[in-house]
Amino acid sequence: MFPGPGAVSSTTVWHCASSPGSATTPGARWAAPQGVVMGAVIVQGCSSVGTPCCAGVGRTLIGGDKRQRRKQEANFVSFLSSHKKWLLEPFGGPGAEGQWQIYDIYQPRERRTRRALLICNTKFKHLRQRDGAEVDVKEMTKLLEGLGYNVECHEDKTSQEMTTVMKKFADHKDHLTSDSTFLVFMSHGMSTGICGTKSNGTTDILSFNTIYENFNNKHCRALMGKPKVVIIQCCRGDNIGSVQIRDSIDPEMPTSTSDGWRCVELQGSKTREAHLESDFATLYSSTPDTVSWRSPTEGSVFIQRLVEQFRNHAFNSDLQEMFRKVQRSFENFPRQLPTQERTTMLKKFYLFPGL
């Protein structure tokens, strides 16, 4: 774990990551994540010495030495084969209560064609350059490649160009033999969307809705029923995400309400009806209408902490639990809080690094 930005440093300045014309503010220097990932271990609570689940044997280096990773993966697959039943039960496999509550991995690793899309805008015609974004691109690419994704990276695109890139990526034949995808966007942003390179803060905006429209079950059938993970690093407004409070006064508790619901009985038909939008999980770098923070030398706080949590916990935590770990890592940084929104996953998504 690296320390949160708590103490003031005279050597590092923090920038509002994406707010046009924002001022810089003093902040703390944090260390880039180091260490290895226990990538091949998927059994929660396993501590058997001498098996691939042992920390000293079962680790996979995300982005590390490929020969070492292949050897560890072979050991792990052999271990799974000999302990298949009890290993799968904690994850909803055969014999478990609530059968098949996790997303499937369709192909062996050597035939699986996972793809990830990364779009990062750094240079703008009217807005401030996003110094430090190159660090985020490097770290996210290394993380995703270590998780088995072929990363397609695009930089400095207008909103229309980003839409074109997404449409082409959604049509890629590799999704047919993939089990999931990651869609990563880094740019300046507003409450309604992501800034293109010609944006002045109000024009050339890629609507957040456009992302979901391009990858929903109508327009991207190859990814239907498969996890689509959306990571968005951008400001969503100009407000600071913290508030001054007095601990001596209890805040008023919100009133709990429940929304009504109704069932619609559908007549039998040869055409199967499916959700228009499902299997998405989205993590924004900040709450609505607030800014995100970035170091011009070390990248954004959000991407650095996301990479750290995935490296440390992908071996035994599902995606949404890792999202919560990212959020909890901001407890001592009240200016910003990542938020999960528009999440429609129907099962748990384990990345199973090394498998």
- Neighbouring residues of 2: CB distance < 8 A, sequence distance ≥ 6: 30, 31, 32, 33, 308
- β-bridge pairing 181-186 and 115-120: parallel
83 part of the active site: no
Q: Are residues 166 and 214 in contact, defined by beta-carbon separation less than 8 angstroms?
A: yes
Name 86's bridge partners: none
Cα distances (angstroms) measured from residue 93 to each of 2, 73, 87, 89, 98:
35, 21, 9, 5, 8
Eight-state DSSP code of residue 185: E
Of the candidates 187, 193, 167, the one whose C-alpha atom is nearest the C-alpha of residue 119 is: 187
Structure tokens at 82: 């000999």
Taking residue 105's Cβ as centre, other Cβ atoms within 10 Å add up to 17
CA dist., res. 295 & res. 118, Å (int): 20
Of the candidates 136, 152, 138, 181, the one whose C-alpha atom is nearest the C-alpha of residue 292 is: 136
Catalytically annotated residue among 53, 195, 234, 235: 235
C-alpha 311, offset from chain centre: 12
CA dist., res. 352 & res. 147, Å (int): 8
Q: Are residues 13 and 296 in contact, defined by beta-carbon separation less than 8 angstroms?
A: yes
188 part of the active site: yes
Measured in residues, the chain has a length of 355
Catalytically annotated residue among 188, 195, 220, 234: 188
Active site residues: 188, 235
